[in-house]
Amino acid sequence: MPIERLDHLVLTVRSVEGTVDFYTRALGMAAVTFGDGRRALRFGDAKINLHQWGEEFAPYARAPTPGSADLCFTTHEPVGEVAERLRAAGVAIELGPVERDGARGPLRSIYFRDLDGNLLEVANEIEALDDAPPEGP
């Protein structure tokens, strides 16, 4: 039974609407409403379902806690440009750019936090950057 990909994950948050605003504004994710008004954030071929802390949808994690996640997202946009856009939006960069090891190889990453204190990493796959055609004429 080889696992193919991650379809979705769940974040337990203090404010669903605040979280939707942060992730759509800061990271360009799409806000989604499904089921009986449940909220999620869609990006690429995955999504993040949101649970309001204390009002989680069953079944849920044994100890759902806002701020306990550590997530890494990849992008083709250079992380230096991502960091500039985040700073302009009032988001503090905690670390980076730094090199890290990702699931498919080396990454160039920046780190910052969302409203609940979850640690977020946005990264470029270094080999993808090295293989990109040069910019300009």
Catalytic amino acids?
A: 121
HEC profile for the chain?
A: CCCCCCCEEEEEECCHHHHHHHHHHHHCCEEEEECCCEEEEEECCEEEEEEECCCCCCCCCCCCCCCCCEEEEECCCCHHHHHHHHHHCCCCEEEEEEEEECCCCEEEEEEEECCCCCEEEEEEEHHHHHHCCCCCC
